[in-house]
Structure 1
Amino acid sequence: MQTSGTFKVALALTLSALLFPLPASALSKNETPHLARAEPGINAQSLSGAYLAAKAAQSEGALDEASRYYEKALTIDPTARPVQVEAMFAFLADGRFDQGAELASKLLDDSDAGKVARIALGIEALRDGEYDAAINHFDLSDSSELDQLLLGHLSAWAQVGKGDSEGAIRRLDELKGPPWFAIFNLYQKGLIYDYSGQPDEARRVLKILLDDKSSVQTSPDTYLAASEAMGRIELAAGNTEAALAGTEYGLALAPAYDPLLFLNKAIEAKETVQPPVATVQEGAAEALFVLGQVINRGDGQQVALLYFQLADALNENSSPKLLSSLAASAEQGKQIDRAIRYYEQIPENSAYRRTADLQMGLDLWFSDRKEEGKTLLAKAIADHPEDLQSHLAYADVLSADKEYTKSSEILARALELAPENGPQNWNIYYQTGIAFERLKEWDKAEPNFRKALELSPDQPQVLNYLGYSLVDMDRNLDEGLDMIRKAVRLRPNDGYIIDSLGWAYYRLGRYDDAVTQLERAVLITPSDPTINDHLGDAYWQVERFREARFQWQRALDGTPAPEDNVVADIKEKLENGLTPAKEDSGETAPDKPLPEKRALADQPADDTSAN
C-alpha cells in the first residue's frame, strides 16, 4: 500500500528532514501538568538561534524540546513562514494539537503545508461539532488512494454528525478503489449503522467482513476490531451466543488477544458494555486509528504517529488502545520515558493493562532502571500466573542480566504453559539452551538446542549457536561447521553469523579461510569489537602483523566497549602479539561471547537469498 499523497506530499518537506527519529508526545492534552518533566531553559535570544536549537533537538529525537524552541522563535517573529510551517508539523506530531491548528489557520495557502493544514482544521471542526466546515476542509483534490479513503471516512462521520447517516453510507459506497478498500469501508459502515440505531445492518456488513478471510491479510487490527464490534453489538441486543460467536472470529486469529478475552468475560457475565463507538468523534478517531495501524511500519511510522495524534485530538479522553499505540511509537523513536508515561495512563481495569505492564517492565529494564523493570515483570507473573508472555518477557531480562539459573526456571514454566510441541516453541527451547550453556551445563543445553532445531530446522540463530558451540568445544566438528554454513546461507548479510563461520575456521586452523570470512563480517559490522578482535587474530596467523594490531586497536575503540577481561587480553596482544602457546592451544579470550549472545535483540530479518 502506498502512503503518498495528501499527507506524504506535505510531510516530505518536514517529516523526512526534521522529524527523524520522531518521538511520540508524552503529554496528554488533559494531563500536561502531571506529565511535564524538568526542562532546560529556552535561552535562545535570536530567531536563528531558536530555529537552529529546534533543528538540533529534532535531530536528537527530542520533539518536545524542539516544539518549545519553535514557540520561542515564534515569539521573536510570529510571521516567519518557514518557522510557522515547521512548527505546525512539530506541534501536530508532538500532540500539541491546538497550537498546530492555530498555525494551520495561517498556512492554508502554503504550497507545502496547505494540505495538512486543511486536514488539521477539519479535525478541529469535527471535534467542535462544526460538521459542514469539517466536510469542506476534507474536500481535497489530488489525493492518494490512502488519503481518499481516510478523508472519505472522516467526511462520512461528519455527515453522521449532521444527522445524515444515509448520506454517510452513500459516501462510503462511492469510495471506489483497490480491493483493500473493502475491509475498511465495511468496518466503518458497521460502526455507522450501529451508531445510527440500525444493528441489523451493522451485523450484516460486519459479517461480510469477518467471513472474508482475505481481510486478515489486509489489516489484522481492523479484523480484530470488527470481531470486537460484533460481540458488543450482539451483547447489547441480549444475544449471548451470537456475541461469543462474534468474538470467536478474532480469537481464532489471536487466541491471547486481551480485548476479546475481556469482552468474553463480560458476555458470559451478561454485563452492560460500551457500544463500539459512542460519539461521532470516537468514530472518526477510529478511522484514523485503524489506518494508522496499517501503515505503522518502516517509513510509514512517521505518518502513522500523526494519525494517532489526530485521533487523540478527537477524543475527550485518550482510549487505552490509542495510548498503547502512542507508547509503541515512542518506543520506536527510542523515547522510553515517554512510552512509560503513556503506559502509566492506561487504567488498571483495562484490557490493555497486562500488555502495558509487560512493555513497561521491558522499557524500564532497557532504560537502565533494571531492578524496577524486573520487579514489574515479576509482579506480572504473580498477577497472571498462567500467562505465557509474562514468563517469556521476564526470562528475557533475566538472561540479559546473566541470571541464567532463574531464567531457566522461568522458561521451564513457560514451556508448561505453551501449546504442547507447537513449532512456535522452538524459541523457548533455544533460550533454555542458551541459559544452560552459559551455566556450563552442556549436557542440558545441547538437548534443548536440538529440540529447537527439530521444531524449526531452518532457524539461523539456533544453527549458528549450536554449530559454533560444537566447533568451539571440538565436538562433532563437521556437523558444527555445516550448521554454521547453513546459517550463513540463510542470513548472508548477518555480520555476527559470518563471524561465527570465520572463527570456526580459525579454531580449525584454516586461517586463510578465517581471514576471508572475518573480513566479510567486518565490512558488514565494522565497529563490533569481537569481530575486529577475531580478524586481528586471523591476520596475525597469516603474518599480516601490522593489520592485526590495527584490528586489535579497533576492537578496543569499538562500540560497545569490550569487557574488562577482553580488554586486558587485547592489550597484551598489542604488546606481544600472539604467543606460540596461544597459537597451539587455540585459546580464546575468557567467556568470549558468541555472536548470537551479543545481539539477540538486534538480529535482522531472515534473508534466505544465496551468497
Structure 2
Amino acid sequence: MLIAAPASAQAVSSASGSSAYVQARAADAAGFPRLAAAGYATALKAEPDDQLLAMRAYRQALAAGDYNLASRAAAVMVRAGSAPPDADLLAFSIALQANDRTGTDAALARVAAGPLSFLAPVLQAWLAADRGQDPIAVLDKARDNALAGRYAAHHRPLLMIASRRGGDAVVALSALLTVGEENDDLRIDAATLFAGSGQRKLALTLIGGDRPDYALLRKRLGKGAKPSAAFGASRLFLQVAQDIAAQEIFPLTIALTRAALLLDPADDRARLYLAEALSGSGSDALALDELGRIAPDSPYRRGAEAGRISALQRSGRTEEAIPLARALAEGRDATAADARTYGDVLAATGQFAAAAGLYGAAIERAGGDGGWELQYLKGTALDRAGQWSEALPALQHAVALGPDQARALEYLGAALVVRGENLPEAQALLERASALQPDDPGISASLAWAYFTRGDVTRALPLLEKAVQGDPGGPVANEHLGDAYWTLGRRYEARYAWSAAAIYADTDAASRIQGKIANGL
C-alpha cells in the first residue's frame, strides 16, 4: 500500500505542491478520501490557478464534506470560466447560510444563466419569501418551462405556508396529494412547515395513520426546520438528487446533497441519498460514516440500515451485511422493502432458493400482486435455484404486470429459448424487449438465438454481430455468433468468435467452447 492513512496527514500538510498532489492521488486510489482532500488542499495552495487540480480538489472536497476546500477550488474554476454548474449551487448555499445577500444573488444569477436555470424560479421565490415579497408572483415565472414548472408545483403550497396563507396551501395540497409513496416528500415537507409555523393540527392531518416512519415524524413536529429560503433550497436540491438517482450521476448527486445538508444538517433524507452516491462512486467508508450520523430514532433509520447493507456489499463485506439484512427483515416493523433487501443479499451470495422465499414474503407484505419487479426477482431466483416449474408462473406474472419492462421480457423469453419451450412466444417476448431497448447487446443476442433456434440463421447473424460490437467480450454473444458462422459454413470466423467467447466464459462454458473450437458443431 502506498499510504498508511493515520501517519500521513502531517506529511501531506508539509509536502510541496507537486508531492502533495501525488500523495493526494495515491490516497484517493487507496481509499482514504479525507487524506486525499487534505493533499489536494495543499497542492491547490501551491498552484492556485491550476484548473485540473481545482476540479479534482472540488470533487474530493465535496465527497469528504470539506466545504472550505470545495469553495476555494470552485472559485478557481469560476475565475477561469471552467466551473461545473453545480458549483453555483454550492456557492448559493454557502452564501445563504452566511446571510451574504450579495453572494447569494450573484450565485443565483449564475444559476439562472446556466444549464441548471430550471431551478432558479423556485430559489428566487424562496428568497422573495425571506425578504417579505410575494413568492407566488415570482414562482409564476416558471410557467413557460415544463421542468421548472414541475418543481414549482411542489413548492407552491410550501411557499404559501411560509407566507402565512395556510388556507390556500391546504387547497393546493389537496389537489396534489393522493394516496401513495410518491407524495411522501410533499406531505412531510408541508407537515414540517405547518408545525414550524405553529399549525400543528394541520401538520398532523398530513402524516397521520399507523406507518412507523410517520409515527416517528409526528414526535419531531415543531422541533425541525422553520419556513425559510434555506429550507426551500435544501428541499429543492434533494428533489433533484432523487430525480437523478437512477441515472447514477454520482458527482452531481453528491454536490446536491452536500448543498442540501449545509442548509439543513438534520435532513436525514438528504443524508441517505448522499451515502448512496458516495458508495456508488467507491467511497464506501464515507458512505458508512454518513449513515452512522442517522440516529436510531430517526424516521429514516430503516433506510439507513438498508444503505449500510448496500455499502458493505459494494465494499466486499457481504458477510457483515447478511446478519444486518436478516435483522432488518425479521424485525417487528419489517416491511416489504426489508424483505427484498435481505433477498437481494442472499441472491448475491448464491442462496437463490432462500432469496426467492424472501421475495415471496416481500410480495405478501406489499399486498396485492407486489408489482412486476418483485415477481421478476422471485422468478429469476427460483430459476437460478433450479425450480423452473415454480419460476415460470412468477416470470409470466411479472411480464403481465410490466408489459413494457424489457428486463422481464428478455429473461422469460431467453429462458424459454434455452429450454426449447414455446419458441413462438419466446421470440415474440424478445422482439418486444428489443423494440424497447434496441441497442442492448444482451437483448440482441437473446433475440438472435431465438431466431437461430427456430432455423432462421439469416435473421440471427446481423443481430449477433451487433451484440458483439456492443459487448466485444461477451461470452454468450460470441459463442452464439460462432455457432451462426459455423452453420453458414464460415469456419474460420466461427473459431475466431468462439476463441473470443472462451476468454471470459465460466469454467463449464469454457470447456464446451473449447470443444467447439476443436471439433466444430
The TM-score normalised by the length of structure 1 is 0.69
Inter-CA distance 83–494: structure 2 relative to 1 (3 Å threshold): closer
- 1:324 CA displacement: 1.1
**1:343-402 Cα deviation digits (max 9, x unpaired):** 222111111110121222133223321122222111101224541111112222322322
Q: Do residues 306 (structure 1) and 262 (structure 2) align?
A: no
CA distance in 2, matches of 1:434, 1:135: 52
2:111 and 2:119 in contact (8 A); partners too:
no
- 1:184 CA displacement: 5.4
- Structure number having the greater helix percentage: 2
Q: Do residues 289 (structure 1) and 237 (structure 2) align?
A: yes
Which of 477, 484, 487 pairs up with 2:433? 487
Counterpart AA for 1:89: Y
Partner of 2:291: 343
Secondary structure, in 3 states, of the residue corresponding to 2:207? helix
Q: Pairwise mapping of residues 131-280 of structure 1 onto structure 2 (< 5 A)?
A: 131-132=100-101, 137=106, 140=109, 143-144=112-113, 145-146=117-118, 148-149=120-121, 151-152=123-124, 155-156=127-128, 160=130, 167-170=131-134, 173-174=137-138, 176-179=140-143, 180=149, 182-183=152-153, 185-190=155-160, 192-193=162-163, 201-213=164-176, 223-229=186-192, 232=195, 237=199, 239=201, 242-247=202-207, 259-260=213-214, 262-263=216-217, 266=218, 273-275=221-223, 277-278=225-226
Partner of 2:146: none
Which deviates the most, 104-113 or 410-419?
104-113
1:434 and 1:445 in contact (8 A); partners too:
yes
Partner of 2:331: 383
Inter-CA distance 205–109: structure 2 relative to 1 (3 Å threshold): farther
**1:472-492 Cα deviation digits (max 9, x unpaired):** 223333333333333323332
Inter-CA distance 333–105: structure 2 relative to 1 (3 Å threshold): closer
Inter-CA distance 517–299: structure 2 relative to 1 (3 Å threshold): closer
Which deviates the most, 380-389 or 502-511?
502-511
Aligned-residue sequence identity (percent) comes to 23
2:278 and 2:286 in contact (8 A); partners too:
yes
Inter-CA distance 529–103: structure 2 relative to 1 (3 Å threshold): closer
CA distance in 2, matches of 1:459, 1:418: 20
CA distance in 2, matches of 1:529, 1:293: 36
Counterpart AA for 1:527: G
Counterpart AA for 1:313: L
Q: Do residues 89 (structure 1) and 41 (structure 2) align?
A: no
**1:97-117 Cα deviation digits (max 9, x unpaired):** 123445677888655559988
Which deviates the most, 58-67 or 532-541?
58-67
Q: Do residues 445 (structure 1) and 391 (structure 2) align?
A: yes
**1:244-300 Cα deviation digits (max 9, x unpaired):** 43236xx9xxx97x754533xx3xxxx573355148685366355345436645597
**1:518-564 Cα deviation digits (max 9, x unpaired):** 1122122222222212222322232322222222222233xxx3222
Inter-CA distance 492–361: structure 2 relative to 1 (3 Å threshold): same
1:453 and 1:462 in contact (8 A); partners too:
yes
1:295 and 1:304 in contact (8 A); partners too:
no
RMSD: 4.2
**1:405-426 Cα deviation digits (max 9, x unpaired):** 21222223223222224xx533
1:536 and 1:550 in contact (8 A); partners too:
yes
Partner of 1:596: none
Inter-CA distance 296–439: structure 2 relative to 1 (3 Å threshold): closer
Q: Do residues 74 (structure 1) and 58 (structure 2) align?
A: no
Q: Do residues 333 (structure 1) and 281 (structure 2) align?
A: yes
**1:433-455 Cα deviation digits (max 9, x unpaired):** 22332333333222222333343
2:58 and 2:70 in contact (8 A); partners too:
yes
Q: Do residues 365 (structure 1) and 313 (structure 2) align?
A: yes
